């Protein structure tokens, strides 16, 4: 576990609230969440279906603005930034791995991994190849997503998430569509990357056995976060 006598806080939230409106009805999802996660910590977020795990992850990553509350990442107040500044910060400091990969089908593996650089106007072909090497897929660099297995596609998605060497890596059910053996391989890659590069890792998973391999397991239930099942 990375926590020492004095831990540097990487993610801090205060009084996070998020709800959705369905017709005239408001559904409260996050209800005043306070959270502190240290630099280099590996945190797994569990909870029943519909509890708000993905909503919390999206809010921490700057993808869904909370109605109330703050999110600080590495001391930066994420939602105090303007739209362009926030997008630049996310591109530079945050990696995100989706359950369904979100790869562009017309692009090769290396082209998909280089997308964050393209968004920033930077040619990242060499960095993309290096990221594919780190996830064991450099030999598949010129293959399209349709030519790869689900596990390989998820590794490409991980490579894309780490190509900018982010401080924080979010992963939303990264093994949800994979068999048990491939799930373990993907989780081992995420944990190894976090250890080797001192990345703060936040993983949403429904698999409580996988959640035990992190430094801390958090459970979201009734819009609140606790530390025990």
pTM of the model: 0.91
Residue 4: per-residue pLDDT: 43
Give me the percent of the chain exceeding a pLDDT of 70. Answer: 96
- Is 103 contained in some domain? no
Is pLDDT above 90 for 95? yes
Question: Which residue range is the domain that position 176 belongs to?
Answer: 9-97+166-226
Nearest-angstrom CA–CA distance, 212 and 197: 21
Q: Which of 127-131, 196-200, 225-229 has the lowest mean pLDDT?
A: 225-229
- Is 156 contained in some domain? no
Nearest-angstrom CA–CA distance, 41 and 3: 7
Q: What is the 3-state secondary structure (H, E, C) of 63-99?
A: CCCCCEEEEEECCEEHHHCCHHHHHHHHHHHEEEECC
- Is 190 contained in some domain? yes
Residue 143: per-residue pLDDT: 98
- Is 147 contained in some domain? no
Residue 213: per-residue pLDDT: 85
Number of domains in the chain: 1
- Is 133 contained in some domain? no
Residue 29 belongs to domain with CATH number: 3.40.50.300
- Is 211 contained in some domain? yes
Residue 6: per-residue pLDDT: 47
Residue 7: per-residue pLDDT: 64
Is pLDDT above 70 for 229? no
Is pLDDT above 80 for 210? no
> Do the Cβ atoms of 72 and 25 come closer than 8 Å?
no
- Is 135 contained in some domain? no
- Is 194 contained in some domain? yes
- Residue 70 pLDDT level (bands cut at 50, 70, 90): very high
171: nearest Cα among 182, 155, 149, 195: 155
Q: Which of 71-80, 120-129, 131-140 has the lowest mean pLDDT?
A: 120-129
Taking CA atoms, 185 is separated from 40, 83, 97, 135, in Å, by: 20, 36, 15, 10
- Residue 50 pLDDT level (bands cut at 50, 70, 90): confident
Q: With residue 216 as reference, give the H or E element that holds it.
A: strand 216-221
Residue 76 backbone phi and psi in degrees, to 5: -95, 130
Is pLDDT above 70 for 3? no
- Residue 20 pLDDT level (bands cut at 50, 70, 90): confident
* Residue 80 or 118, more confident: 80
For 22-43, write each residue's pLDDT tens digit. 888 888 999 999 999 999 999 9
Residue 55: per-residue pLDDT: 93
Query: For 177-183, what is the mean pLDDT?
Result: 87
Is pLDDT above 80 for 201? yes
Q: What is the mean pLDDT of the chain?
A: 90
Query: For 185-202, what is the mean pLDDT?
Result: 92
């Amino acid at each position: 576990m990375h926590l020492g006598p004095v831990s540097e806080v990487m993610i801090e939230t205060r009084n996070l609230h998020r709800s959705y409106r369905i017709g005239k009805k408001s559904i409260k999802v996050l209800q005043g969440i306070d959270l502190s996660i240290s630099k280099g910590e590996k945190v797994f977020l569990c909870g029943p279906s519909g509890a708000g795990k993905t909503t919390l992850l999206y809010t921490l990553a700057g993808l869904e603005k909370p109605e109330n509350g703050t999110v600080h990442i590495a001391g930066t107040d994420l939602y105090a930034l303007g739209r362009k500044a926030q997008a630049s910060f996310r591109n530079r400091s945050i990696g995100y791995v989706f359950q369904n990969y979100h790869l562009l089908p017309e692009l090769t593996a290396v082209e998909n991994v280089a997308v964050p650089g393209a968004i920033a106007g930077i040619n990242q072909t060499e960095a993309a190849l290096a990221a594919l090497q780190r996830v064991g897929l450099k030999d598949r660099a010129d293959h399209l997503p349709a030519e790869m297995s689900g596990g390989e596609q998820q590794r490409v998605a991980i490579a894309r998430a780490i190509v900018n060497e982010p401080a924080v890596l979010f992963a939303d059910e990264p093994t949800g569509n994979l068999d048990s053996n491939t799930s373990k391989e993907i989780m081992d890659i995420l944990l190894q990357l976090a250890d080797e590069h001192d990345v703060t890792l936040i993983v949403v998973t429904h698999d409580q056995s996988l959640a035990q391999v992190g430094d801390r397991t958090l459970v979201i239930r009734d819009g609140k976060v606790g530390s025990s099942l």
